[in-house]
Each structure stands twice: as C-alpha cells, then as structure tokens.
Chains A and B, each alone.
Chain A
Amino acid sequence: MELLRDMGKDQQSLWARVLAFIGRILLAISIPLIAFYVLYLGFLFLRDSQAPRVVITLVAIVWGVGGVAILYWIFNGLVELLPDAWTTRLLPFVFVGPAMAILGWYLAVPTLRTFYISLFDRNGPPDGMNFLQQLGSQAFVGLSNYKAVFTHPLMLEAFRNNLMWIIFGSTLSVAFGLIIAVLADRSRIENFAKSMIFLPMAISFVGASIIWNFIYEYRPAGQPQIGLLNAIVVGLGGTPQAWPQWVDIAPWNNLFLIVIVIWLQAGFSMVLFSAALKGIPEELMEAGRIDGASEIQIFFRIMIPYIQGTIISVWTTIVIFTLKIFDVVWVMTGGQFGTHVIATQFYRQSFTNRNSGFGSAIAIVLLIAVIPVMYYNLRQFREQEAF
C-alpha cells in the first residue's frame, strides 16, 4: 500500500512537487505569523485599555485561545477548497506546520544561534555585518569562552555544587521515594500517605523556598527562635545558625538547599516505584518467603533487581532536573555563600553581567551535559510507557 503510493508520487511532475513544497512551507509559516499578528493586535488593545483587571484577564484568555483555534479552522477550510489532490498534499502541513515553525523559532534555531553567540565576546556578534565579517571581527573569540567556563573559579564552584546536587539530591530522592513506596505498599494508610508525600509536587520552587526559609529562619542566640530547625537545635543545647548561609561549613551548606528538592521530588519517585512494585508477581515474593528469606532480603534480592529499570529511569530524570536547578538557589541564596550552580551562573553571566558570549557558552555546556542522560532517559521512558 505504502509502496504503491510512493511510486505514484514519483510520477508527479516536477512542477507540481516544487509548488507543493513551496505551498507547504508557506502554510507552515503563515499560520503562526497571522496568529502572532492577531494576538499582537489584541495585546495592543489590552495594553491601551483602562478596563478593570478581571476584564483584561478574561479578554486575554478568550482572545489568546480562541484566536489560535479559529485560524486552524480557516486554513483548513481554505485548503479543502483546493482540488482533492492538492488538499491531500497540503492538508498535513496545516496540521503539523505551525508546531514545526514554532519549534524552529523557539528551540531549534536558538540552539544554533546560542552556539554562534558563544564564539563571540560579551556583546555577541556585532550588528550590521555579514556572517564572514562577523567571524573576522575583533568580537570573534573562538573557543575562549569555553576555556573560561572550565577555568573560572565561580564556574568550578558551580560544577562542584551541581555534582553535589546530583549525588545527594537525586540519590536521596530515589532512596526516600523507594522506602516510602515499599512501606506504603504494606500499609493500610497507603493512599493517604502517598497523597501527603506527593503534595509538595504542586508547590512552586519559589513557594518551597519560602517554606524552607521559614524552617531555617535565624534569630540570634537568646531570642526565641521562630524557625523550626533552630528551635530544635537550641532546645538540644546547640547554637542557632542561618543554615544555608553558613559559609563555615561550605560546601556542605548546599545540603540545606538540596533537602528542599528531595522534599519536592521524593513524591515523584515514590509514585513511579509504587507502580513498579505492584507489577512484581506475588508468586515471586511468596517463593522467596517460603525459602525463608527475611523481608530485608526480599527487598534487596527480589524487589530491587525487579524494578531496576524504573530506578535508573527515575534517577536519570532527577539528575536532569538537578542539572538545570535554578529557582531554589536563586531565591534562597542568590548563589551567594558558595551555592552557585550552572543555571544560576548562566543567569548571572547572561543577564546580570550582560556577558552574552560567556552566558551562551554555559548554556551550551549545560545542553551537552544533559544530552547523554536525556537520551538514556527517553529510551527508558518509552519502555515504561508512563503516559
């Protein structure tokens, strides 16, 4: 069937194929372009109007969502007016074109552009020059931004901290998730416990930072402590500390930030492990018990090997996540006190220091660090059929 259709395509005239190609590209680009223009007009109206905020909110929502939906409808109608052969040729691109055009603008092309910018100094490629002139200009610095990424002391600090995030953050999230999943599986309060542990996933990083800032809240010794951690420490006879800001123990003060992410992510790993544990055949566990294995032995010899695939895919997911960690560090410490990570360095270089060459080089390094983990993760993800 497929083969026949392919042969049929070869017999089309060259002219028709060129025309179809142009038509497809045009369709792909024109829908987002018109959508953009329509949304832009609406936005101008919203900006200039003095309506109450609730009205503006409603108009924004209806305009944004409705505008895009109507465009698909119009373009589909137009293409369906064409002769049948042309409808079949062009219609798929009404459907798939806008997505590809937007992905191109927002992800594919920026990756190349960021790489290109990373080869230049702090102001990026000079304006008003063509490609070759830019490469020949003073601003072109080759790979020296990358050299800086791997030698700058703050970057080295960031790499070290990200490594801590991966080692402690991902591993402990997985460990806690696994322990809770195993315990919940044998408990009568399973659903309640799982909901409560999963709940932090609904909270933003900024919200979580506030929650934990409150726990770490520091008052000088002698005053009543309102932060839970310091209250406990003082109650046990210790001295209060501003935990994440406690530079004396650097780099271990990072652990106080990492705890936040463990708190957020344990629920995620728990749910995946819980599902995987329910997939272990009961006969397998029963056989182990009959052979006299203790619960601990069953856990290590039967459960862990059986759900190994899930453990690795959960771990890699959280590794990717911790590689890109930004909000928690930015809100809690702003990267001070020796807590910078790659993403906060990227932000600082790109937007605070306005050194776009350096910032872009960091972004590319981040991409390269994520690729192998992500590749592995996506392969696992398909096997898990999580969705």
Chain B
Amino acid sequence: MKSGKRQKRFGSLIVNGTLLLLVLIWTVPTMGIFVSSFRVRNDIATSGWWKIFPYRDWQPVREIDISQAGLDPNGVMTIEGATGTFEEFRAGVETPDGKRITWIGNKRLGRVEVQEEVWTVDWNFSLDNYRQVLGGQDFKFTRPDGTVEIVPGDNMNRAFLNSLSVAVPSTVIPILIAAFAAYAFAWMNFPGRRALFIIVVALLVVPLQIALVPILRDYKALDLNGTFLAIWLAHTGFGLALATYLLYNYISTLPRDILESAFIDGASHFTVFTQLILPLSVPALASFAIFQFLWVWNDYLVALIFLGGNPEFELVTQRMAAIVGSRGSEWHLLTAGAFVSMVLPLIVFFSMQRYFVRGLLAGSVKG
C-alpha cells in the first residue's frame, strides 16, 4: 500500500515535471522577445537576453599602469604571477590565485585590468525601444567607443491605428451580414433555401488565394486599390461563408417556442431578430468576433495585396515584415515592435479566454 503511494507520487512528479518543461519550452521564445524589448539597444546587440539571469562574469577590480609596472608588450611579460605574451594577455591570462589579467586596447595606449569572476546580472532596462518604434523620429546612440550613430525610429503608432481601422469594421460588417443570413436560413421559409445554404457550405472550401487575382482586377477597375474600403470588403467576403455557417449552427438550435410566441404576439421578423435572436446569440457572436478580429489583425497576405503599395495605410503586420526585410538586425526595434503588434491579441486572450478558445477552434477551417 505504501509503495503504491510512493509510486503515485513519483508518477505525479514525472507528469508535472514533463509538463512544466514543455510549458517552459513553449514560453521561452516569447519571453526572449519580451525581455529583450526592454533592454538597451547596445545590450541586445552584444549579449543574449538570458543575461538578465545571474551568471558568472569577469569584472575589473583594479587597473595596472603599464609604464609604472615597466611592461614591454613586445616580449613575454609577467604580471601578478601570470606569464604570457601580448596576444595571450589580450585574451586574458589567469593568475594562480583565481584572478584574471586582461590587456585592453592596443600595445601603446592600452591598459591592464585585474579581473575577478563574480556573479552578475544585466539589468539595464528602459522603455526607449518602445518610444523609438512608436514615435517615428530619429534616435542618437553613443557607441562604446564614443562615436555617435543615428538610427531612424519607426512609426508603429500609425500602423497600429491603421490596423484598428481595418480590423474593427472587417469584424463587425461580416458578422452583421452573416447574422441576418443565418437567421433567414434558420427561421424563414423561402424557395431555394437549401440550395443557397449548400452553396455557402461549399464556399468554405475555397482558399482565399483563388479570389485574389480576380478581385485585384475588379479593384483596379474601380480604383479601390490601397484603400481601407477595399480591405474591409475583402475580409467581409472571405469571412462571410464561415460566419454564416457557424452562426447558422448556433441560431438554428435556439428553442423554437420562444420565437413562435413572439410571432403570435405580432412581432415582425426584424424585431424578433434584433430583440431576441441577437441577444441570445451573444456567445456565438462573441466567439466568432474574437476569431475574425484576430484573423484580420494578424493577417498579412490580404493586406499585402490590397494595401500593398501605400505606406500611408500600412498595417502592423506589414510594418513588422518591412522592418524584418530592411532592418532585420535592429533587434531593439523588432522586439518592441513585435510586442506592440501582439499586445491587443494578448489582452483579448487573457480577458476573454473562453470565447477566445471557442472562436479559434471554430474558425480553424477558415481559408
């Protein structure tokens, strides 16, 4: 009996341990970006972000004056009991008592440091990266050697507002249109109902790539390319089949007697729809809204094609991809920018987790 208990405890240790390990693996990539976005530009470029955790490093304790010690860098030198050539001291030579002697700089103007290995952390945090990536003006950096470098900032602020102006209508318009259609399919009688519904389901299959070339031609003819209207309508078109299908599945399961009593009281379809069906469908509407909002917010392909040419209307995903393309090593911009682009989805995720999960599961077939 006792060994069974111990076995159980051992089993739960393995289960929890493996799970924690997996969670850690899944979290570390995001954490790297998050931590780095608060580090100073120079730190990001020269050391790993995990240096925020304590690590052992050589720190200077004191300096030795070269001329006073009478050192000749062209031969073999002995400093504090460590012996080596100039090149060896450049790399650092350890003394018998565990210190390290390092020659810094060139032979003539250099200095010699005595270093000790100590526990240390890099906690040089600031919000400068965010200011830069949002603000849009140029920023000056002083390099360690004293020269000044000017790095242009980025205008994520504008991209953020653009994304918002694209995502909200692109979410609400298809839901509204789909809710009307779903109501009609579920509760109205009209010729061709079955056939039309089959068409809706069949269109779920169509990947949106199919539609891009013809729609782009239409937009060229209508002079709509590179406008918000173009992308609202595109997202409406591409999201509508799924929205109608999902909302139909929900609305058609609402109890029939509620509606019938409303009709007996003389309510019109429009009243029933707005006063009864919409409030009752809030869970489904919310789930789909979250899915569609995230889909549009995170979309890159549709934006690239219909907004592509116009930098004025760039969305966060386009902006980020552009920084990756042109300034892929400016990690202080990339990390902060990535976080700016993620902040809204993350807020939605943490505040409405139930609807969020349901919405994403239901929307997974979208194409």
CB pair B205–A374 under 8 Å, yes or no, is yes
- In whole angstroms, what is the CA distance A193 to B26 when docked? 10
B10 to chain A, nearest CB (A): 12
A189 contacts B by Cβ under 8 Å: yes
Q: Contact at A226–B19, with CB atoms within 8 Å?
A: no
Chain B count of residues within 8 A CB distance of the other chain: 118
Which residues between 78 and 136 of chain B lie within 8 Å of chain A, taking CB atoms? none
Residue B158 contacts which of A53, A192, A326, A327 (CB distance < 8 angstroms)? A53
Residue from A99, A226, A228 within 8 A of B244 (CB atoms) = A99
Q: Which of the 9-residue segments B59-67, B68-76, B172-180 touches chain A? A: B172-180
The interface stretch among A130-138, A148-156, A344-352 is: A344-352
Q: Which of B23, B237, B269 contacts A95 (CB 8 A)?
A: B269
* Per-residue contact bits, chain A 88-106, to B (CB 8 Å; 1 contact, 0 not): 0101111110111011011
Q: With A and B bound together, what is the CA distance between A76 and B184 in angstroms?
A: 13
Tell me if A142 counts as interface (CB < 8 A to partner B). Answer: no
Question: For the complex, what is the distance from the CA of A69 to the CA of B274, rounded to whole Å?
Answer: 11
A298 within 8 A of B: no
Chain A residue numbers with a CB within 8 Å of B299 are 204
In the complex, how many angstroms separate the beta carbon of A33 from the nearest chain B beta carbon? 12
Contact A214 B362 (CB under 8 A): no
B198 CB, nearest partner CB in chain A, Å: 12
| A107 CB contact (under 8 Å) in B36, B206, B232, B294 | B206
Check B276 for interface membership: any CB of A closer than 8 A: no
CB distance from B253 to the nearest CB of A (A): 9
Across the interface, do A200 and B324 meet the contact criterion of CB distance under 8 Å? no
Residue B284 CB within 8 A of the other chain:
yes
The answer to whether B30 and A39 have CB atoms under 8 Å apart is no
| CB-defined contacts of A40 to chain B, threshold 8 Å | 229
Stretch at the interface among A162-170, A248-256, A300-308, A316-324: A316-324
* Nearest A-chain residue to B246, judged by Cβ: A387
Which residues of chain A from 317 to 371 have any CB-CB distance to chain B below 8 Å in the complex?
A: 317, 320-321, 324, 326-327, 330-331, 343, 346-347, 350-351, 356, 359-360, 363-364, 366-367, 370-371
Q: Taking CB as reference atom, which chain A residue is nearest B36?
A: A214
Cβ of A204 and Cβ of B317 under 8 Å apart?
yes
Contact of B238 among A107, A224, A385 (CB under 8 A): A107
Bound CA span A191–B360, Å: 17
**Whole-angstrom distance from the CB of A261 to the nearest CB of chain B?**
13
* A64, A350, A359 pick with most chain B CB within 10 angstroms: A64
From A5, A36, A53, residue with most partner B Cβ within 10 Å: A53
Q: How large is the interface on A (under 10, 10 to 19, 20 to 34, 35 or more residues)?
A: 35 or more
* A contact residues around B152 at 8 Å (CB): none
Task: Please report the C-alpha to C-alpha distance between residue A206 and residue B297 in the assembled complex, in whole angstroms.
Answer: 11
- The B contact surface, by secondary structure, is helix
Query: Which of B164, B176, B177, B328 is most buried by chain A, counting CB atoms within 10 A of its CB?
Result: B177
Which of chain A's residues 196-210 have a Cβ closer than 8 Å to chain B?
196-207, 209-210
Report whether B365 and A381 are in contact in the complex, using a CB–CB cutoff of 8 Å.
yes
> Does B335 sit at the interface, judged by CB under 8 A?
yes
A61 to B161, CA, bound (A): 11
Q: How far, in Å, is B141 (CB) from chain A's closest CB? A: 17
Contact yes or no, A210 B364, CB < 8 A: no
Question: How far, in angstroms, from A263 to B361 measured CA to CA in the complex?
Answer: 16
A346 to B216, CA, bound (A): 14
Residue of B nearest to A188 (CB): B16
Instruction: Name which residue of chain B comes closest to A347, CB basis.
Output: B301
Q: Which residue of A lies closest to B188 (CB)?
A: A92
Within 8 Å of chain B (Cβ to Cβ): is A16? no
Tell me, rounded to whole Å, the shortest Cβ–Cβ distance linking B161 to chain A: 5
Are A102 and B205 in contact (CB-based, < 8 A)? no
- A195 CA / B271 CA spacing, docked (Å): 40
Residues in A49-105 with C-beta less than 8 Å from chain B = 53-54, 56-57, 60-61, 64-65, 68-69, 72-73, 76, 80, 89, 91-96, 98-100, 102-103, 105
A-B contact pairs, 29 of them (CB 8 A): A60-B228, A61-B164, A68-B173, A92-B193, A96-B184, A102-B240, A106-B233, A114-B213, A187-B16, A189-B16, A196-B27, A199-B30, A202-B294, A202-B345, A204-B342, A206-B300, A206-B321, A207-B298, A207-B320, A207-B338, A210-B33, A210-B335, A228-B50, A231-B50, A272-B361, A363-B207, A366-B207, A367-B206, A371-B205
